[in-house]
Amino acid sequence: MTLTINRTVCFFNFYLAALLLAMPVFACASAIDNLKSFIQETQTVRANFSQTLLDKNARSIQKSSGTLEFERPDKFRWIYQKPYEQSIIGDGKQVWFYDHDLNQVTVRQFNIAIGSSPAALLAGNIAIEDNFELNNLGPQDDIEWMEAIPKSKDSAFEFIQLGFSLNGDLQYMALRDNFGQTTYLTFSNLIKNPSLPEGFFKFMPPDGVDVIGE
């Protein structure tokens, strides 16, 4: 169970978030403007991601990669393909964490599992200022950065940072958790508003898999 939770935290530092996509905006728009445009204009997303987890001393301790899709509001699939297989699927009511190696599924109520997370920031259906304090950090190497600080004291994250290209595409995410670890994500092959099949975000535990939780 501990191993599953640790891997799950690695995701949500990422996650399932989950999550993310390119968004067209006016030139010179701030990163916060880009985020708000993204939320207003993007209903579905498909993308690839690569992820690096750093410890509190900024040493790389894990690299992973996979794919993600989401549909507003509150539905997402965050699939890790390397170095091990793990699926995190939110159907709007529950979030399912499927560890393929452990042959185990953990299920949690959506609002408890998500909270002030990247998924709530990017795929939610409520005003982002209700859950986050937003700050523009300015440009760095042609990337406009912003920071979202969760208002809830129960959040698993100290902050979430988003980096947008000059044309408004979401390219990077950085998250610092309460253990001092930082997760960096790079997004590629971003597709805005792709058509996703009906039932795409439903999850049925495979036969023989242990199911833990609600």
Q: For residue 113, what pLDDT is reported?
A: 59
Mean pLDDT of the chain, nearest integer: 81
Confidence of residue 124 (pLDDT cuts 50, 70, 90): low
Nearest to 118 by CA among 78, 164, 168, 80: 78
Higher pLDDT, 157 or 127: 157
User: Are 72 and 18 spatial neighbours (Cβ–Cβ below 8 Å)?
Assistant: no
Query: So what CATH class is 2-213?
Result: mainly beta
Distance CA 117, CA 206 (A): 27
Taking only the tens place, the pLDDT of each residue in 175-198 is 998 889 999 999 999 999 999 998
The backbone torsions φ and ψ at residue 174, rounded to the nearest 5 degrees and listed phi first, read -130, 135
Is the confidence at residue 104, as pLDDT, over 80?
yes
Confidence of residue 214 (pLDDT cuts 50, 70, 90): low
Domain ranges of the chain: 2-213
Q: What is the mean pLDDT of residues 28-46?
A: 86
Distance between start and end Cα atoms, the chain: 15
